[in-house]
């Protein structure tokens, strides 16, 4: 398990302005969850500095992260959270257990899914629907009402499903995919916007070996906290460190520790704030002292640019309290 403690280097050693290009000023080489036509590619193209680089599609998210870790590419672009299905566990698990990488940026994309098939196919002809499980889960209502007897086939990505359908010879096969993938692979769209819920969005992140983002005032921090012992009150002991400093958590999930047996879990936390902020750094310091095993996997700007008024108020009160303590210390003989 890589680097379970805080990186021993100082924040100044690993910070930059997101490191959008190589150290020599060349365009970045960016791996992304492919093939071309995925929502990941669409989100990546909203980041103009990265989209101008050399884009390298990878078959899976672990493949992307492997390429970043090995130095084959400068950075990777992967999904981490969906507003309907929640956190993308295979991305989180890879960051928590398999790689010593940091998140430096995020992007949010509206998700619209369509049913696509070879030209001339009718909805009544469909016997099999291919996509990734997350996408089919987001279209349960449409599938139940329109294709109740269709078999669901797994693909490595939504765009991969469209590509496979376009290259296949079987009849009655359709894909749930982005409209751009259907167009790219020459499929006809039979139904658009088939996702169950309006407002479906996915959050994507940029991962790098180094080059953490500087504080902006509207950031989030990713942590993995491994319990020192599985005992009553261990979770509340972790949460009270955030509550005491009025740090809001945008996500908290438990994940099984691979080396442990049943019941052995760690907590993956996304919290509002930046490791460069005094309060967040103090929280991380307390967790490290209390729990022993804490992994930081980045502090980065929120895509919505929102800053918490509560956070700003608490920061100001914390600074005042710190000044008060220092004034007392100055009176020591």
Q: What is the pLDDT of residues 189-222, one digit of tens each?
A: 999 999 998 888 999 999 999 988 899 989 999 9
- Residue 117, number of CB atoms within 10 A of its CB: 25
Residue with tokens 């379970």: 4
- Residue 124, number of CB atoms within 10 A of its CB: 9
The set of residues, in sequence order, having a beta carbon less than 8 Å from that of 252 and lying 6+ positions away, is 239, 267, 268, 269, 270
Q: Which pLDDT band holds residue 318 (cuts at 50, 70, 90)?
A: confident
For residues 34 and 42, what is the distance between their CA atoms, to the nearest angstrom? 10
Residue 131, strand partner residues? 154
Given this model, what pLDDT does residue 8 score? 33
Tell me how far CA of residue 176 lies from CA of 116, 151, 155, in angstroms: 6, 13, 10
For residues 177 and 113, what is the distance between their CA atoms, to the nearest angstrom? 6
The set of residues, in sequence order, having a beta carbon less than 8 Å from that of 137 and lying 6+ positions away, is 84, 85
Which two three-digit tokens encode residue 108?
């949010």
Query: Are 268 and 205 contacting, i.e. CB atoms less than 8 angstroms apart?
Result: no
Residue with tokens 């991969």: 160
SS (H, E, C) 221-264: EEEEEECCCCCCCHHHHHHHHHHHCCCCEEEEEEEECCCCCCCC
Q: Which pLDDT band holds residue 160 (cuts at 50, 70, 90)?
A: very high
Q: Which helix (H) or strand (E) holds 200?
A: none
**φ, ψ at 133 (rounded to 5°):** -55, -35
pLDDT in tens, 18-70: 444 454 557 899 999 999 999 999 999 999 999 999 999 999 999 999 999 99
| Ramachandran region, residue 233 (left: φ > 0; alpha: ψ -120 to 50; beta: rest) | left
Q: Which helix (H) or strand (E) holds 125?
A: none
Query: Which one, of 233, 175, 179, 208, lies nearest residue 30 by Cα?
Result: 208
Over the chain, what is the mean pLDDT?
87
Q: What angle do CA 103, 87, 181 make, to 5 degrees?
A: 85
- Residue 144, number of CB atoms within 10 A of its CB: 10
- Residue 286, number of CB atoms within 10 A of its CB: 17
Tell me how far CA of residue 265 lies from CA of 28, 224, 253, 270, in angstroms: 37, 11, 10, 17
The set of residues, in sequence order, having a beta carbon less than 8 Å from that of 90 and lying 6+ positions away, is 61, 62
Domains with residue ranges and CATH for the chain: 14-110+200-214 (3.40.190.10), 114-191 (3.40.190.10), 215-321 (3.30.70.260)
Given this model, what pLDDT does residue 281 score? 94
pTM for the model = 0.81
Alpha helices in 36-174 (DSSP H): 39-44, 48-51, 61-70, 89-93, 133-137, 140-146, 158-167
Given this model, what pLDDT does residue 2 score? 41
Average pLDDT for residues 112-134, to the nearest whole number? Answer: 95
The distance of Cα 38 from the centroid of its chain, to the nearest Å, equals: 15
Tell me how far CA of residue 67 lies from CA of 61, 77, 90, 180, 189, in angstroms: 10, 11, 16, 26, 34
């Amino acid at each position: 398990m890589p680097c379970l403690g805080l990186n021993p280097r100082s924040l100044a050693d690993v910070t930059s302005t997101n490191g959008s290009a190589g150290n020599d000023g060349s365009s970045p080489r960016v791996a992304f969850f492919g093939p071309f036509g995925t929502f990941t590619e669409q989100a990546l193209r909203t980041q103009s500095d990265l989209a101008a680089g050399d884009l390298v599609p990878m078959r899976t998210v672990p493949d992307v992260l492997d390429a970043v870790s090995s130095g084959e590419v400068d950075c990777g672009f992967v999904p981490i959270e969906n507003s309907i299905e929640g956190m993308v566990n295979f991305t989180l698990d890879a960051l928590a257990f398999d790689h010593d990488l940091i998140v430096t940026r995020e992007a949010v994309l509206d998700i619209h899914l369509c049913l696509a098939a070879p030209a001339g196919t009718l909805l009544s002809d469909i016997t099999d629907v291919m996509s990734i499980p997350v996408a089919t889960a987001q279209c349960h209502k449409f599938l139940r009402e329109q294709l109740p007897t269709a078999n669901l086939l797994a693909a490595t990505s939504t765009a991969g499903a469209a590509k496979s359908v376009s290259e296949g010879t079987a009849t009655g096969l359709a894909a749930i995919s982005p409209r751009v993938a259907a167009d790219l692979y020459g499929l006809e769209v039979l139904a658009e916007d088939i996702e169950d819920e309006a407002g479906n969005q996915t959050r994507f992140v940029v991962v790098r070996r180094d080059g953490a983002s500087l504080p902006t005032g509207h950031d989030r921090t990713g942590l993995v906290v491994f319990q020192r012992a599985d005992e009553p009150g261990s979770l509340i002991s972790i949460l009270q460190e955030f509550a005491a400093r009025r740090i809001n958590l945008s996500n908290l999930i438990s994940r099984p520790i691979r080396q442990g047996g049943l019941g052995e879990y760690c907590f993956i936390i996304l919290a509002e704030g930046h490791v460069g902020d005094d309060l967040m750094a103090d929280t991380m310091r307390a967790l490290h002292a209390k729990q022993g095993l804490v992994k930081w996997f980045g502090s980065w700007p929120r895509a919505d640019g929102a800053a918490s008024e509560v956070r700003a108020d608490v920061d100001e009160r914390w600074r005042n309290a710190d000044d008060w303590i220092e004034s007392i210390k100055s009176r020591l003989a």
